């Protein structure tokens, strides 16, 4: 079949490419319904990646956060009309020790091959999971939630048992989702959020405390920390965590930085701190995120608060408006896909 891929050809220039795609017995045809713009998509769109990276990866369809409905399944395992979340990580091998999202051979949509900005998407059947009792505009946040689920799994595996106070650095979407999920999974823990934007910190009403990073009490400590900053702010955030964290605590690193980050390794050694690297997510993490939404329906209204703007997309002009609007939005920009 001929499919329309809406690809970024160069920074801020999206075009339509008609692609002939082969349907196989393992392919499920999915029509996107909602897409969510991520900071990684925005870096490509704005041309803020290394020119060599852009030259290698473009043209490419953006977006790795999306939900849709099944249009066709040759095996009949998924009924037509079934709502599904689409998993961007695409492994090509199995490893008994290394998770699929850390295998160097795995592909990731909107980072080397086409993302979900398409008329329909040909999905391998093990890359979609049905969801129920969740609004589509909330379900589109499942990829973001799955990243937190991956980090929490890692955290549970390697951190010590004392989890009285958990600190989250970062007041953006990743920090918000991570703090909210931690609040439910560790109900007896004190959740403390550190950020640089007072207006954004006001959204964290479920947290036990919030602080601007330049106004933290001198006697405040945390048992473990989650870094959700990334970018140029990651260095100061990580070093503040190292200063504040109790000995032998763990720091879950979740923010992506384009440049090298300098940290106080001397104090990492003196305190016996464990640094946990986290990136992307697996099928199991998406499944855990869906179960979270099903088990904690009261969180849906909190997730909805970080949808800063919803735009209906009919054409390339609407796509451009969405990416431009996202730059000034505090949290998530989502697209209702009607192309």
**What Å distances lie between residue 129 and 77, 88, 277, 280, CA to CA?**
12, 12, 26, 17
Handedness of CA 240, 242, 246, 251 (dihedral sign): positive
| Per-residue pLDDT tens over the stretch 201-251 | 999 999 999 999 999 999 999 999 999 999 989 999 999 999 999 999 999
Q: Taking residues 98-103, what's their average pLDDT? A: 97
- pLDDT at residue 258 above 90? no
Kind and range of the H or E run holding 70: strand 65-72
CB atoms within 10 A of CB 109: 25
Average pLDDT, the chain: 97
Q: Is the pLDDT of residue 253 over 90?
A: yes
Q: What is the pTM of this model?
A: 0.96
Full strand arrangement of the beta sheet holding 250-253:
209-212, 190-195, 165-169, 224-227, 250-253, 274-277
Q: What average pLDDT does this structure show over 262-281? A: 98
* pLDDT tens, residue by residue, 117-172: 999 999 999 999 999 999 999 999 999 999 999 999 999 999 999 999 999 999 99
Q: Note the pLDDT of residue 112.
A: 87
Contact 143, 40 (CB under 8 A): no
Place of tokens 């589509």: 136
In this model, does residue 259 exceed pLDDT 90? no
Backbone angles phi, psi at 312, to 5 degrees: -85, 130
Give how far Cα 301 sits from Cα of 135, 162, 205, 239, 304, Å.
Answer: 11, 30, 12, 33, 5
CA 170 and chain centroid, separation:
14
**Residue reference for tokens 């992506």:** 256
């Amino acid at each position: 079949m001929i499919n329309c891929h809406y690809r970024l050809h160069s920074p801020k220039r999206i075009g339509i490419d008609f692609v002939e795609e082969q349907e196989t017995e393992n392919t499920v045809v999915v029509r996107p319904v909602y897409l969510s713009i991520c900071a990684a998509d925005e870096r490509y769109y704005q041309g803020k990646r290394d020119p060599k990276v852009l030259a290698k990866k473009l043209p490419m369809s953006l977006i790795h956060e999306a939900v849709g409905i099944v249009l066709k399944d040759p095996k009949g395992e998924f009924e037509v009309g079934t709502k599904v979340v689409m998993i961007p990580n695409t492994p090509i091998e199995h490893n008994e020790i290394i998770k699929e999202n850390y295998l160097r051979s795995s592909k990731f949509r909107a980072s080397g091959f086409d993302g979900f900005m398409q008329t329909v998407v040909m999905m391998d059947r093990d890359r979609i999971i049905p969801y129920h009792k969740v609004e589509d505009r909330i379900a589109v946040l499942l990829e973001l939630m799955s990243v937190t689920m991956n980090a929490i799994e890692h955290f549970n595996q390697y951190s010590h048992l004392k989890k009285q106070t958990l600190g989250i650095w970062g007041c953006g979407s990743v920090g918000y989702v991570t703090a909210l999920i931690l609040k439910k999974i560790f109900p007896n823990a004190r959740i403390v959020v550190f950020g640089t934007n007072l207006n954004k910190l006001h959204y964290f009403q479920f947290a036990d405390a919030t602080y601007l990073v330049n106004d933290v009490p001198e006697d405040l400590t945390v048992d473990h920390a989650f870094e959700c900053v990334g970018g140029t702010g990651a260095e100061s955030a990580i070093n503040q965590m190292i200063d504040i964290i109790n000995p032998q605590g763990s720091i879950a690193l979740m923010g992506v930085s384009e440049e090298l980050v300098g940290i106080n390794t001397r104090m990492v050694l003196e305190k016996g701190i464990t640094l946990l690297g986290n990136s992307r997510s697996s099928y199991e993490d998406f499944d855990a995120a869906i179960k979270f939404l099903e088990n904690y329906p009261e969180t849906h209204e909190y997730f909805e608060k970080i949808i800063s703007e919803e735009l209906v997309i009919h054409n390339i002009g609407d796509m451009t408006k969405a990416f431009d609007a996202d730059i000034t939005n505090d949290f998530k920009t989502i697209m209702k896909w009607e192309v």
